[in-house]
């Protein structure tokens, strides 16, 4: 079983940017959860009013608070909107996904069940093909499961919490490699201790890894969960990043590794009262 030493009050954070069809599918999957989080926060990196309208339409369908955390569109600022959303969260445990991750009905239950007091959780993802994603958008396909057509790494869709209890503590890498913020959870006080995500990262790439480097350096261990915390990653065109910007982000990651960094200078403390 999970060995969290404190009561869990979970906040589910969903990051998004002008991806209304994907966000609608994600929200529909959240509505089907067997166990709900304490609250839902949409972390919006500058979407147009269309996203706001969709969120307002969904709010009455939820039995939990739904918050729209928005910032102006000034380029890709994922670290910044994550920090703002985490600062807004009233839960002591943060579950974070991207706005293109359709959740298994036990997603939140699994993250909470497997939480440990000195660990953060890295979940996996099930890749969904372009054709199957288009069927979901069109409404001709309504549910995803292990045997759905058009999914890759099918074993990642197998759900069995008892088995996950056994293997999750020993499975997978324990350093920053292979980290993906699209399916992750952590205690809020651990995030505050490392000052959240580093907002010096501009554009896509390496911000998740650098955040995890500081978590690890501060004594928080990585726990990879398998056969639980299942989420289906909808197809989309790959993010493009200039070579120069990616090199700059890589340099920030390298610096954190070299200095055994635990705290960033431009982080969540800007938004915490």
Number of Cβ atoms within 10 Å of the Cβ of 69: 22
Evaluate if residue 243 carries a pLDDT over 80: no
Q: What is the pLDDT of residue 91?
A: 98
- Residue 200 domain boundaries: 10-270
Q: What is the mean pLDDT of residues 96-103?
A: 98
- Domain assignment present for 122: yes
Q: What is the DSSP string of 231-260?
A: EEE---PPP---HHHHHHHHHHHHHHHHTT
In 148-198 the beta strands, taken as DSSP E runs, fall at 183-187
Q: How do residues 163-202 score in pLDDT, each as one tens digit?
A: 999 998 788 889 999 999 999 999 999 999 999 999 999 8
Write down the mean pLDDT value for the chain: 94
Q: How do residues 127-145 score in pLDDT, each as one tens digit?
A: 999 999 999 999 999 889 9
* Cβ atoms of residues 35 and 110 within 8 Å: no
Tokens of 13: 């954070």
Q: What is the pLDDT of residue 1?
A: 46
Candidate from 62-71, 182-191, 239-248, 252-261 with smallest mean pLDDT: 239-248
Residue 221 CA to residue 24 CA, distance in Å, equals 33
- Domain assignment present for 2: no
Residue 91 CA to residue 38 CA, distance in Å, equals 7
Q: How do residues 50-84 score in pLDDT, each as one tens digit?
A: 999 999 999 999 999 999 999 999 988 999 999 99
Q: How do residues 4-50 score in pLDDT, each as one tens digit?
A: 657 999 999 999 999 999 999 999 999 999 999 999 999 999 999 99
Evaluate if residue 153 carries a pLDDT over 60: yes
Evaluate if residue 2 carries a pLDDT over 60: no
- Domain assignment present for 3: no
Q: 41: which residues sit within 8 A by CB, 6+ positions away?
A: 11, 12, 13, 14, 66, 67, 69, 85, 88, 89
- Domain assignment present for 175: yes
Q: What is the mean pLDDT of residues 251-263?
A: 96
Evaluate if residue 100 carries a pLDDT over 50: yes
* Cβ atoms of residues 26 and 14 within 8 Å: yes
Q: What is the mean pLDDT of residues 92-98?
A: 98
The structure's pTM equals 0.95
- Domain assignment present for 1: no
CATH at residue 210: 3.90.550.10
* Cβ atoms of residues 191 and 238 within 8 Å: no
Q: What is the pLDDT of residue 240?
A: 67
Q: What is the pLDDT of residue 4?
A: 63
Residue 102 CA to residue 31 CA, distance in Å, equals 11
Report residue 210's pLDDT band, with 50, 70 and 90 as the boundaries: very high
**What's the total number of domains in the chain?**
1
* Three-state DSSP state, 121: strand
What CA dihedral angle connects 132, 138, 141 and 143, to 10 degrees?
90
Q: What is the pLDDT of residue 3?
A: 54
Evaluate if residue 241 carries a pLDDT over 70: no
- Domain assignment present for 108: yes
Among the listed residues 165, 86, 79, 163, the one whose alpha carbon sits nearest the alpha carbon of residue 121 = 165
């Amino acid at each position: 079983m999970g060995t969290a030493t404190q009561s869990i009050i979970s906040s589910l954070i969903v990051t998004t940017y002008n991806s209304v069809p994907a966000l609608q599918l994600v929200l529909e999957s959240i509505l089907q959860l067997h166990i709900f989080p304490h609250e839902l926060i949409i972390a919006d990196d500058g979407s147009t009013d269309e996203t706001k309208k969709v969120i307002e339409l969904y709010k009455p369908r939820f039995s939990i608070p739904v918050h729209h955390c928005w910032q102006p569109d000034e380029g890709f600022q994922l670290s910044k909107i994550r920090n703002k959303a985490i600062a807004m969260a009233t839960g002591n445990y943060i579950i974070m996904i991207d706005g293109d991750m359709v959740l298994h009905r036990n997603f939140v239950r699994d993250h909470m069940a497997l939480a440990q007091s000195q660990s953060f959780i890295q979940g996996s993802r099930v890749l969904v093909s372009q054709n199957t994603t288009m069927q979901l958008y069109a409404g001709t396909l309504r549910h995803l499961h292990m045997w759905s057509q058009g999914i890759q790494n099918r074993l990642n869709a197998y759900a069995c919490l008892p088995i996950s209890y056994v293997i999750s503590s020993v499975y997978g890498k324990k350093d920053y490699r292979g980290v993906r913020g699209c399916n992750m959870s952590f205690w809020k006080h651990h995030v505050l201790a490392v000052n959240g995500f580093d907002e010096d990262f501009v554009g896509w790439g390496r911000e998740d890894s650098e955040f995890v480097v500081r978590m690890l350096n501060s004594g928080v261990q990585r726990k990879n969960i398998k056969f639980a915390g299942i989420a289906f990653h909808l197809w989309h065109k790959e993010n493009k990043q200039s070579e120069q910007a990616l090199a700059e982000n890589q340099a920030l990651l390298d610096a954190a590794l070299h200095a055994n960094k635990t705290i960033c200078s431009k982080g969540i403390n800007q938004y915490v009262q």
